[in-house]
Amino acid sequence: AVEAGENSRAAVYIRAAEGAVGQAGTLLESVDRRAAELGEAARKLPAALTETETDLADAGGLLEGTAEGASTADLRGRIARAEAVLADVRGAMAAGPYDPVDALRRVE
Protein backbone atom coordinates (compact mmCIF):
# COMPACT_ATOMS: atom_id res chain seq x y z
CA ALA A 1 0.00 0.00 0.00
CA VAL A 2 2.88 2.40 0.77
CA GLU A 3 4.60 1.67 -2.55
CA ALA A 4 1.35 2.36 -4.38
CA GLY A 5 1.02 5.70 -2.63
CA GLU A 6 -1.95 4.58 -0.55
CA ASN A 7 -0.72 6.04 2.72
CA SER A 8 -4.12 6.05 4.43
CA ARG A 9 -4.60 2.39 3.58
CA ALA A 10 -1.10 1.59 4.85
CA ALA A 11 -1.89 3.44 8.10
CA VAL A 12 -4.96 1.26 8.60
CA TYR A 13 -2.84 -1.88 8.14
CA ILE A 14 -0.22 -0.59 10.55
CA ARG A 15 -2.85 0.17 13.19
CA ALA A 16 -4.34 -3.29 12.72
CA ALA A 17 -0.90 -4.87 13.09
CA GLU A 18 -0.23 -2.82 16.23
CA GLY A 19 -3.55 -3.97 17.67
CA ALA A 20 -2.72 -7.59 16.90
CA VAL A 21 0.68 -7.24 18.59
CA GLY A 22 -1.03 -5.74 21.64
CA GLN A 23 -3.53 -8.60 21.76
CA ALA A 24 -0.72 -11.14 21.45
CA GLY A 25 1.08 -9.48 24.36
CA THR A 26 -2.07 -9.62 26.47
CA LEU A 27 -2.53 -13.29 25.59
CA LEU A 28 1.07 -14.11 26.54
CA GLU A 29 0.65 -12.31 29.87
CA SER A 30 -2.51 -14.34 30.53
CA VAL A 31 -0.75 -17.60 29.68
CA ASP A 32 2.17 -16.70 31.96
CA ARG A 33 -0.19 -15.75 34.79
CA ARG A 34 -2.14 -19.02 34.43
CA ALA A 35 1.10 -21.03 34.35
CA ALA A 36 2.15 -19.38 37.61
CA GLU A 37 -1.26 -20.14 39.17
CA LEU A 38 -1.03 -23.78 38.08
CA GLY A 39 2.52 -24.09 39.42
CA GLU A 40 1.61 -22.54 42.77
CA ALA A 41 -1.43 -24.80 43.14
CA ALA A 42 0.62 -27.89 42.24
CA ARG A 43 3.17 -26.95 44.92
CA LYS A 44 0.47 -26.37 47.57
CA LEU A 45 -1.63 -29.45 46.80
CA PRO A 46 0.47 -32.13 48.56
CA ALA A 47 0.43 -30.19 51.85
CA ALA A 48 -3.31 -29.57 51.51
CA LEU A 49 -3.91 -33.28 50.96
CA THR A 50 -1.82 -34.14 54.01
CA GLU A 51 -3.62 -31.55 56.13
CA THR A 52 -7.00 -32.88 55.05
CA GLU A 53 -5.95 -36.45 55.84
CA THR A 54 -4.84 -35.29 59.30
CA ASP A 55 -8.17 -33.54 59.79
CA LEU A 56 -9.98 -36.72 58.77
CA ALA A 57 -7.97 -38.76 61.27
CA ASP A 58 -8.86 -36.23 63.98
CA ALA A 59 -12.52 -36.41 62.99
CA GLY A 60 -12.39 -40.19 63.14
CA GLY A 61 -11.01 -39.88 66.66
CA LEU A 62 -13.95 -37.67 67.57
CA LEU A 63 -16.31 -40.37 66.37
CA GLU A 64 -14.61 -42.97 68.53
CA GLY A 65 -14.77 -40.67 71.55
CA THR A 66 -18.44 -39.79 71.11
CA ALA A 67 -20.75 -40.98 73.86
CA GLU A 68 -23.13 -43.81 73.08
CA GLY A 69 -26.42 -42.52 71.71
CA ALA A 70 -25.06 -39.13 70.61
CA SER A 71 -25.85 -38.20 67.02
CA THR A 72 -22.83 -38.52 64.74
CA ALA A 73 -24.65 -38.52 61.40
CA ASP A 74 -23.52 -35.00 60.45
CA LEU A 75 -19.87 -35.72 61.24
CA ARG A 76 -20.02 -39.08 59.46
CA GLY A 77 -21.47 -37.35 56.39
CA ARG A 78 -18.75 -34.71 56.38
CA ILE A 79 -16.07 -37.36 56.76
CA ALA A 80 -17.52 -39.38 53.88
CA ARG A 81 -17.64 -36.32 51.61
CA ALA A 82 -14.06 -35.36 52.46
CA GLU A 83 -12.86 -38.91 51.86
CA ALA A 84 -14.63 -38.96 48.50
CA VAL A 85 -12.99 -35.67 47.48
CA LEU A 86 -9.56 -36.93 48.50
CA ALA A 87 -10.05 -40.17 46.57
CA ASP A 88 -11.29 -38.28 43.52
CA VAL A 89 -8.39 -35.80 43.57
CA ARG A 90 -5.79 -38.52 44.11
CA GLY A 91 -7.36 -40.53 41.28
CA ALA A 92 -7.21 -37.53 38.95
CA MET A 93 -3.58 -36.92 39.88
CA ALA A 94 -2.67 -40.55 39.19
CA ALA A 95 -4.61 -40.68 35.91
CA GLY A 96 -2.48 -38.07 34.19
CA PRO A 97 -2.90 -34.40 33.40
CA TYR A 98 -5.20 -32.71 35.90
CA ASP A 99 -6.08 -29.18 36.94
CA PRO A 100 -4.14 -28.45 40.14
CA VAL A 101 -6.05 -25.20 40.72
CA ASP A 102 -9.37 -27.07 40.73
CA ALA A 103 -7.91 -29.92 42.80
CA LEU A 104 -6.57 -27.50 45.43
CA ARG A 105 -9.87 -25.63 45.55
CA ARG A 106 -11.71 -28.90 46.15
CA VAL A 107 -9.34 -30.07 48.88
CA GLU A 108 -9.22 -26.76 50.73
The 8-class DSSP code of residue 97 comes to -
**Does residue 37 lie within any of the structural domains?**
yes
> Per residue of the chain (108 residues), what is the pLDDT tens digit?
556 677 888 889 999 999 999 999 999 999 999 999 999 999 999 999 999 999 999 998 888 877 777 788 888 999 999 999 999 999 999 999 999 999 999 999
Domain count, the chain: 1
Asked if the structure places residue 53 within a domain, the reply is: yes
In a domain, 80, yes or no: yes
Cβ count within 10 A of residue 100 = 20
CA distances from 85 to 5, 26, 31, 40, 101 (A): 66, 35, 28, 20, 14
C-alpha 40/C-alpha 100 separation (Å) is: 9
Domain for residue 1, yes or no? no
Q: What is the CA radius of gyration of the chain?
A: 27
Domain membership of residue 29 (yes or no) is yes
Residue 2 lies in a domain: no
| 66-95 per-position pLDDT tens digit | 777 778 888 899 999 999 999 999 999 999
On the CB side of 74, how many CA atoms lie within 13 Å of its CA?
3
Domain interval for residue 85: 7-107
pTM, entire model: 0.73
Question: Which residue blocks in 1-108 are alpha helix, DSSP H?
Answer: 7-64, 73-95, 100-107
